[in-house]
C-alpha cells in the first residue's frame, strides 16, 4: 500500500505547485530513487484529466555519457530537449540520486560545456510551469548526517508545510524590498553591499521548489562591492565546496577562495557572467534550520540568505547571462555566527530574526 504522505505530496505538487489543468501535458522526470512518488504523480495527473509523460534518470548513466561526450554531442542533445520542452505545459523534476558525488570525477571543462549547451533549454523550461523537488534517499540522509527514516520524516514534513500561509506572510517583505535601493550584509568575514533598485522582487512559496521558502531578486549587475564569506557547504556537480569566499569590485569577482581552489576557478571561468551575481534571496523556511549539503534545502534555511553566481532569472532579471546558476548560502542565525541585513541603512534582520514589526510574521515562531 502506498504511503499516504506520498499521495498528499503528489496532490500538493499537482494542484498547488503546478496548478495542473485538464488536457495539459506534464513531464514527470525523476531519478531512480523516486519511482513510488512518480507513480503517485502519474495516477494523480490522470485523475485530473491531464496527460503525463515520464522519464527515469540515473546518475551513473549520466556519468558514463559525460565522460566521453563532446560539445557537439551535447548541443545536439540540447536541440532534442528544446523540441520536447516546447510541447509541454508543465514539468516536474525529482532529485533522488543514489550518490551525491557521482559526477565528482567528471572533468570540470566537460561540466562547464554541459551547462553552456543546456542554457537555451533552461531558458525555455523557465517559461513553463515547473517545479523542482528533492525526494528523500539514503544518500541524502547520509549527506545530512541523519538516519534514513529520520530524514524521510523530515523531508516529508518540510515538503508539506502550509505554503499558502507562508506565501501570505511574505507580502510585507516583498513590498519593502520593492522600494529598497541599497542592501548591506554583514557577518563574520563578510561586509558586502549592492543595489536592488528597479529589479523585480518575487516570493517563492511552493510553486517552483519543494521544499521552498524564499523571497528573491537580483543585485544591479555592476553594483556589488565588498567581501562575503559563506559558512555553508555547497555540493555542486559532485564537488563539495567549503569556506567559499568572494570579493567583488563593481559587480565582478576579483578574488575567490575555497577548499577546492582549482575547481572553483574553473567554475568562475565558465563564461564572463559566471563572475557576476544573478540572484539575491532571503531564506524563510521555519522547518529547515541547518545545512543538508543540498542546495534545494539549504537556500531555504530560516535566517539564511544566498547569492547566486551566473544566470539571472527572467522574472528578476539584472541582465546577467551565464551557463551556470550557483547558489551559495550564508546562515546568519546566532548559532552560525550571526549577522545583519540592512535595507537603505535600516536594520531589517539581526542574527536570523526580523526586527521590523511588519516582518515579524516571518520569524520561525510565527510560521510553525
Give 131-163 as a DSSP string: EEEEPP-HHHHHHHT--HHHHHHHHHHHHTS-H
pLDDT of residue 296: 87
User: Strands, E, within 109-244: which ranges?
Assistant: 129-134, 182-187, 190-195, 202-204, 209-210, 214-217, 225-229, 234-236, 239-241
Q: Enter the pTM of the model.
A: 0.77
How large a percentage of the chain has pLDDT more than 90? 70
Mean pLDDT for the chain overall: 93
Instruction: Decide if pLDDT at 257 tops 80.
Output: yes
Question: What pLDDT, on the 0 to 100 scale, is given for residue 216?
Answer: 98
Residue 331 vs residue 297, higher pLDDT: 331
Q: Cα–Cα–Cα angle for 18, 164, 171, nearest 5°?
A: 110
Continuous segment of H or E residues that includes residue 309? strand 304-310
Q: Which residue has the higher pLDDT, 157 or 264?
A: 264
Predicted local distance difference test score (pLDDT) of residue 260: 93
pLDDT at 325: 94
- More reliable by pLDDT, 311 or 161: 311
Where is average pLDDT lowest: 5-9, 96-100, 259-263, 334-338? Answer: 96-100
**Model confidence at 37: pLDDT above 90:** yes
**Rounded mean pLDDT of 244-253?**
98
Radius of gyration of the chain (CA): 20
What is the mean pLDDT of the segment spanning 129-148? 86
Instruction: Average the pLDDT over 337-347 and give the result.
Output: 98
pLDDT at 112 over 80: yes
Average pLDDT over residues 257-276: 95
Lowest-confidence region among 5-9, 157-161, 199-203, 342-346 = 157-161
Q: Which of 155-164, 198-207, 344-353 has the highest mean pLDDT?
A: 344-353
* pLDDT of res. 104: 86
User: What confidence score (pLDDT) does residue 1 get?
Assistant: 61
First to last CA, the chain: 30
pLDDT given at position 154: 87
Task: Say if residue 321's pLDDT is above 70.
Answer: yes
Q: Which residue has the cell 523534476?
A: 93
pLDDT confidence tier of residue 235, bands split at 50, 70 and 90: confident
CA distances from 86 to 26, 27, 124, 359 (A): 11, 11, 7, 40
For residue 368, pLDDT beyond 70? no
Is a pLDDT exceeding 80 seen at residue 2? no
Taking 70 as the threshold, does the pLDDT of residue 209 lie above it?
Answer: yes
What is the distance between the alpha carbons of residues 304 and 297, in angstroms, rounded to a whole number? 11
Give the DSSP letter of residue 276.
Answer: S
Domains for the chain: give ranges and CATH numbers.
4-160 (3.40.1830.10), 164-367 (no CATH)
Amino acid at each position: 500500500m502506498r504511503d499516504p504522505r506520498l499521495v498528499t505530496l503528489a496532490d500538493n505538487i499537482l494542484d498547488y505547485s503546478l496548478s495542473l489543468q485538464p488536457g495539459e501535458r506534464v513531464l514527470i522526470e525523476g531519478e531512480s530513487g523516486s519511482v513510488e512518488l512518480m507513480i503517485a504523480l502519474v495516477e494523480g495527473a490522470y485523475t485530473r484529466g491531464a496527460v503525463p509523460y515520464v522519464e527515469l534518470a540515473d546518475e551513473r548513466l549520466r556519468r558514463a555519457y559525460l565522460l566521453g561526450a563532446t560539445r557537439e554531442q551535447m548541443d545536439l542533445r540540447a536541440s532534442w530537449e528544446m523540441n520536447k520542452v516546447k510541447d509541454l505545459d508543465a514539468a516536474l523534476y525529482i532529485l533522488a540520486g543514489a550518490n551525491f558525488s557521482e559526477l565528482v570525477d567528471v572533468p570540470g571543462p566537460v561540466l562547464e560545456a554541459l551547462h553552456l549547451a543546456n542554457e537555451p533549454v533552461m531558458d525555455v523550461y523557465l517559461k513553463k510551469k515547473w517545479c523542482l523537488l528533492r525526494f528523500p534517499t539514503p544518500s541524502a540522509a547520509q549527506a545530512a548526517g541523519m538516519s534514513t527514516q529520520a530524514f524521510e520524516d523530515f523531508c516529508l514534513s518540510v515538503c508539506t508545510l502550509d505554503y499558502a500561509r507562508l506565501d501570505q506572510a511574505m507580502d510585507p517583505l516583498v513590498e519593502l524590498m520593492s522600494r529598497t535601493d541599497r542592501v548591506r550584509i554583514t557577518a563574520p568575514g563578510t561586509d558586502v553591499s549592492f543595489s536592488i533598485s528597479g529589479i523585480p522582487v518575487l516570493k517563492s512559496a511552493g510553486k517552483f521548489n519543494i521544499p521552498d521558502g524564499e523571497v528573491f531578486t537580483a543585485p544591479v549587475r555592476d553594483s556589488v562591492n565588498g567581501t562575503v564569506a559563506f559558512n555553508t557547504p555547497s555540493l555542486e556537480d559532485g564537488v563539495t565546496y567549503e569556506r567559499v569566499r568572494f570579493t567583488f569590485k563593481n559587480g565582478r569577482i576579483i578574488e575567490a577562495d575555497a577548499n577546492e581552489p582549482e575547481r572553483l576557478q574553473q567554475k568562475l571561468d565558465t563564461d564572463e557572467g559566471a563572475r557576476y551575481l544573478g540572484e539575491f534571496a532571503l531564506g524563510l523556511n521555519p522547518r529547515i534550520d541547518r545545512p543538508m549539503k543540498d542546495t534545494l534545502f539549504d537556500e531555504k534555511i530560516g535566517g539564511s540568505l544566498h547569492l547566486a553566481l551566473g544566470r539571472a532569472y527572467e522574472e528578476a532579471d539584472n541582465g546577467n547571462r551565464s551557463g551556470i546558476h550557483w547558489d551559495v548560502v550564508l546562515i546568519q542565525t546566532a548559532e552560525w555566527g550571526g549577522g545583519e541585513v540592512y535595507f537603505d541603512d535600516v536594520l531589517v534582520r539581526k542574527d536570523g530574526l526580523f526586527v521590523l514589526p511588519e516582518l515579524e510574521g516571518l520569524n520561525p515562531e510565527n510560521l510553525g
